[in-house]
Amino acid sequence: MGLLLKENIEINCIARPKEQVIRDIGKKLCDSGYVEENYIEAMLLREESFSTNIGNGIALPHGVEAAKKTIKKSGIAVMVFPEGTDWGSEKVKLIIAVAGIGEEHLEILSNIAEKLSDIENVIRVINSSVDEIYEILTEK
């Protein structure tokens, strides 16, 4: 199993409360065996203490440090909100949940940030199919 499964990419999502989005995307990580269920609560805790909105219409929800032991395998899940969804101070369109074991966590975050630092790439992802998003996020 790789870092991203196509079934963990959901496009054309409809706006909903941030907490619900985090629960929904966390469930994808849980259902596909990347994390234990309590990792979802750790993602909500992280969001309460520090927003995971990184700008460019992107949020990268992930669990607090104490939840590292609930990660079975490094993985990500993706939700695309073409119209945006409220993330506190602004709307975000691309949400990528991250669960990384040990140092892989920072590596995954930095890889995503690098690929999506250019707003054109973000727009490309938002307007892509599941297959295209998979290719963009898994290419080396």
SS3 60: coil
The C-alpha atoms of residue 95 and residue 70 are separated, in whole angstroms, by: 21
Query: Up-side HSE of residue 127: CA atoms within 13 Å toward CB?
Result: 6
Backbone angles phi, psi at 75, to 5 degrees: -165, 165
Grouping H, G, I as helix, E, B as strand and the rest as coil, residue 128 is coil
Catalytic residue among 28, 46, 62, 105: 62
Q: Would you call 105 a catalytic residue per the annotation?
A: no
Q: Name the residues annotated as catalytic.
A: 62
